[in-house]
Structure 1
Amino acid sequence: MSELKAGGLAMVVGGNPELFGMEVRTVRLVMPGEAATGPDGRKALNVVRPKWMCTDSRIITPLADGSSLDGWGFFWINHLMPIDGDDFSHEYEKKKELSHG
């Protein structure tokens, strides 16, 4: 499996169940204490462990002040699975072989 990289595609596999299966574009890894500026020009601070800043028009990130970041947000590394550039055909063939044993 490939690694997450800036500008790559990833699938949301953890966190908010409403986002499961969503394809997002990874922008950059944001470290704790670091701020990131989104496509809308708004800044947000990552206060805990490293997270990927990701974009998709369907992402709505609620903030403590009642406002929201629209179209982008932070995702924990383990809540994303890289999907660009991978060829899963070998996995399909392996499952097919096992089922026809």
Structure 2
Amino acid sequence: MRKPRRNDAQSITLGTQAYLQVAPETRRRMLAVRRRDTAPELRVRSTLHAMGFRFRLHSKDLPSTPDIVLPRYRKIILVHGCFWHGHDMCKRATRPRRPPSLSSGTV
């Protein structure tokens, strides 16, 4: 565990203020998104296990908390669903709608 820096309290305060600016319905939707045990992650884990690989899940001692860690091979697997990859012709890969005032035509 790293030592806390002097400005950690500031960043926590700023982060809390940022949440105050989010609409309650948006915050509720964001909190409903699961971080672990998603359908794509369960499929990957099942396939790896069936192939004989043994792994650790969500190792907190590594940067970014990878979904699957293969310690024997010193490799990690980050499982992202359709939304993050934006697959063509996939109903789950749609972009969220934004109010016209926030739309700039670019991502």
Task: Specify if TM > 0.5.
Answer: no
The higher relative CO (CA closer than 8 Å, separation ≥ 6) is in: 1
More strand by percentage: 1
TM-score (norm 1): 0.29
Which has the larger Rg? 2
